[in-house]
């Protein structure tokens, strides 16, 4: 066989015939001597067996037992580097039985039809030693000296950096940048694209610090140049167990450390300098019906984080961990234990053991007062309320905690005893504004129920609530026959919250307008590990009936300044600027630059993938940039394209 002409990222050069499958039928005793002949005839044109000496493909010395994409001196594709595979015999068999199915994006497509040849050649390769272990580096790359706490506190005013998932602790998603305006936005152009080989949930919120962008792609953290998209480093996490859900919504950074959650239940820290792992700590996992998807929040020496998993019957919490080591500091139960405040809101004490209360969206934080505001998700089982009588605290609540101790200061529940999976997903932005002549400390509270409320953070008074999606038959509970309700399972505000322009006192809100029919099971659901704990189901209306709304609201009273219906649901983030611009995207693959005053679209660009993740803007070298995540959104929302970030600027 002849080697293919494209090898970057292949485990073995394409077309060389090795490893289409490696395990022979049990009746065949693998013959390493015969395997040497197979290798010479079919593989040696592309691969050497000399450690560190590569041909068109990487050296296969020591390949058995090696981590895919890890051998030094060979330029693998992202698909192979980030595959998380270790080449034991069963994995090699499945890879070589269908290489592109096992590792989508690999440049190698090959098959060896003879099971005997496959078994023989792997037996031979198992006898070939790899390179000697590399000597440990004398010193690790020094940690960056930022972002500092002072920089994080001032992030709302920072033009060069985007330091938290929603820009700053207040969650404003607003940048004081004026280079791109309604007058010149039509001249925007993409300046670079970073595209991975991963086609899966792309919901991350990228961060930017000192000209470097940090983002997650599935199990991998990627650092790229924020103006050229050139890769600086990547760091991949090897799953220790099979995750329940793969979605990840971003990282947090401070003092040279980058922290993220993983889908299999770990909190992990890396060096911002080079991606070197610093520590990891198991804090949940599928064995407790949990996964980690929210972006962390870091304050002083504390990482604030908590799990999701309500749909699988988790009992969730939020906690603090030391930034330097991952050591736990405090924990607050979002579904109370026995004798804790709120426990009596679950009339059946056993129901608390799988009561839900997920964290999956950004927190907001008042750094001056040291108060973190937590948006707690729905109770479980999702639709069968009779299995958990009571108000089910603290699900669908805003919970205000002292950041240093975890002590609850106050809470306010919205939608007690929820039976529609209408998570409260947003407790941001928080801001101070004049309301009818009185200066107030405010918080926008919203979620999947299609309502946006404005709350006074000091008095807990609700100033107003407004519908941000269609709301119909909202008091109807699921029945066995089925009942049609708006919003459906996927309505309202999902993982990205409103943007806030302090200059015009305007909230910009993008939502999902999609109804559904809720049905109830005939009897209470029984919890089963790693199975959905629903007690019912939702049949969404046909996808072609789903829509979105993009709207501008007066933050003082909720009145509509303008509103546009969109042909698709809107789940991508919004970035607002002092230059009078909004930047966002939709499920038709389009990035949009929009006049913030009128809602008129001024520029659009087809990114080659759906937009459901972060959209940010920042300045570097005197030039304003806008970056948008693109790729498959989720199993529910669907989507197209491999995970990518597209960066725009004026010529």
Of 162, 193, 209, nearest to 576 by C-alpha is: 162
Residue 78 has what pLDDT? 66
| pLDDT tens track for 51-107 | 888 888 888 888 888 888 888 888 777 667 767 788 887 777 677 676 766 776 677
* CATH number of 121's domain: 1.10.760.10
Residue 90 inside a domain? The answer is yes
50 band by pLDDT with thresholds 50, 70 and 90: confident
Using CA atoms, how far apart are residues 453 and 462, in angstroms rounded to an integer? 7
| pLDDT tens track for 366-408 | 999 999 999 999 999 999 999 999 999 999 999 999 999 999 9
| pLDDT tens track for 259-298 | 999 999 999 999 999 999 999 999 999 999 999 999 999 9
Residue 493 inside a domain? The answer is no
8 band by pLDDT with thresholds 50, 70 and 90: very low
Residue 61 has what pLDDT? 87
Of 256, 201, 329, nearest to 639 by C-alpha is: 201
Residue 428 inside a domain? The answer is no
Residue 56 inside a domain? The answer is yes
| pLDDT tens track for 114-160 | 888 888 878 888 888 887 765 544 467 899 999 999 999 999 999 99
Please count the structural domains in the chain. 1
Using CA atoms, how far apart are residues 444 and 421, in angstroms rounded to an integer? 20
36 band by pLDDT with thresholds 50, 70 and 90: confident
Residue 67 inside a domain? The answer is yes
Residue 62 inside a domain? The answer is yes
Check pLDDT > 80 for residue 247.
yes
Check pLDDT > 80 for residue 109.
no
Start-to-end CA distance of the chain, whole Å, equals: 48
Residue 1 has what pLDDT? 29
Range of the domain at 68: 32-125
Residue 67 has what pLDDT? 84
- Residues in Cβ contact with 384 at an 8 Å cutoff, skipping those fewer than 6 apart: 419, 478, 520, 521, 524, 525, 534, 535, 536
Q: What is the pLDDT of the chain when averaged over all its residues?
A: 92
Pairing of strands 174-175, 575-577: parallel
Residue 23 inside a domain? The answer is no
Residue 23 has what pLDDT? 38
The pair of structure tokens assigned to 413 is 């529940």
Residue 100 inside a domain? The answer is yes
């Amino acid at each position: 066989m002849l080697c293919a002409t494209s090898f970057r990222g292949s485990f073995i050069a394409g077309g060389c015939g090795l490893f289409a499958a490696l395990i022979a039928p049990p009746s065949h005793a693998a013959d390493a001597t015969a395997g040497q002949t197979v290798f010479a005839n079919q593989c040696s044109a592309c691969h050497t067996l000399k450690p560190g000496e590569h041909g068109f493909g990487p050296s296969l010395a020591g390949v058995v037992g090696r981590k895919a994409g890890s051998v030094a001196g060979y330029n693998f594709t992202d698909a192979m580097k980030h595959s998380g595979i270790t080449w034991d015999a069963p994995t090699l068999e499945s890879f070589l039985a269908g290489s592109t199915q096992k590792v989508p994006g690999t440049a190698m497509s090959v098959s060896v039809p003879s099971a005997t040849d496959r078994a023989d050649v792997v037996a031979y390769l198992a006898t070939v030693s790899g390179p000697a272990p590399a000597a440990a580096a004398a010193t690790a790359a020094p940690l960056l000296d930022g972002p500092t706490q002072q920089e994080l506190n001032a992030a709302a005013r920072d033009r060069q950096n985007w330091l938290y998932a929603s820009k700053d602790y207040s969650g404003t998603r607003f940048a004081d940048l004026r280079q791109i305006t309604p007058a010149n936005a039509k001249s925007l152009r993409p300046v670079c694209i970073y595209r991975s080989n991963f086609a899966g949930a792309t919901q991350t919120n990228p961060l930017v610090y000192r000209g470097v962008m940090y983002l997650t792609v599935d199990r991998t953290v990627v650092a790229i140049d924020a103006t050229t998209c050139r890769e600086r480093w990547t760091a991949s996490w090897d799953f220790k167990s099979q995750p329940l859900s793969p979605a990840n919504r971003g990282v947090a950074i401070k003092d040279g450390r980058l922290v993220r959650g993983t889908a299999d239940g770990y909190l992990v820290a890396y060096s911002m300098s080079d991606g070197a792992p610093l520590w990891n700590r198991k804090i949940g996992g599928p064995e407790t019906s949990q996964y980690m998807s929210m972006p962390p929040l870091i304050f002083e020496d504390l990482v604030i984080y908590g799990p999701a998993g309500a749909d699988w019957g988790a009992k969730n919490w939020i906690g603090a961990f030391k930034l330097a080591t991952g050591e736990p500091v405090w924990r607050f139960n979002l579904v109370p234990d026995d004798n804790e405040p709120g426990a009596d809101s679950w009339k059946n004490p056993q129901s608390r053991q799988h009561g839900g209360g997920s964290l999956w969206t950004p927190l907001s934080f008042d750094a001056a007062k040291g108060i973190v505001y937590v948006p707690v998700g729905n109770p479980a089982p999702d639709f069968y309320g009779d299995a958990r009588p009571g108000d089910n605290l603290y699900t669908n609540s805003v919970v205000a905690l002292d950041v240093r101790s975890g002590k609850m200061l106050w809470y306010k529940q919205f939608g007690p005893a929820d039976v529609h999976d209408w998570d409260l997903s947003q407790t941001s932005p928080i801001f101070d504004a004049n309301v009818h002549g009185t200066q107030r400390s405010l918080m926008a509270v919203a979620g999947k129920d299609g309502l946006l409320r404005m709350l006074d953070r000091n008095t807990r008074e609700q100033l107003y609530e407004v519908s941000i999606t269609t709301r119909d038959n909202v008091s109807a509970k699921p029945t066995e026959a089925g009942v049609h309700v708006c919003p459906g399972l996927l309505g309202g505000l999902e993982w990205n919250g409103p943007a806030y322009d302090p200059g015009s006192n305007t909230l910009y809100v993008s939502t999902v307008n999609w109804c559904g029919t809720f049905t109830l099971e005939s009897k209470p659901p029984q919890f089963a590990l790693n199975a959905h704990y629903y007690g019912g189901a939702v049949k969404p209306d046909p996808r072609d009936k789903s829509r979105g709304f993009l709207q501008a609201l007066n933050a003082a009273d909720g009145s509509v300044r303008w509103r546009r219906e969109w042909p698709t649901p809107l789940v991508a983030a919004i970035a607002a600027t002092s230059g009078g611009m909004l930047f966002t995207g939709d499920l038709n693959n389009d990035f949009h630059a929009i006049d913030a005053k009128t809602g008129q679209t001024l520029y659009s660009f087809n990114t080659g993938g759906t937009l459901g993740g972060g959209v940010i803007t920042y300045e570097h070298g005197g030039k304003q940039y806008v970056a948008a995540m693109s790729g498959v959104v989720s199993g529910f929302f669907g989507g197209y394209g491999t995970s990518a970030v597209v960066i725009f600027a004026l010529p």
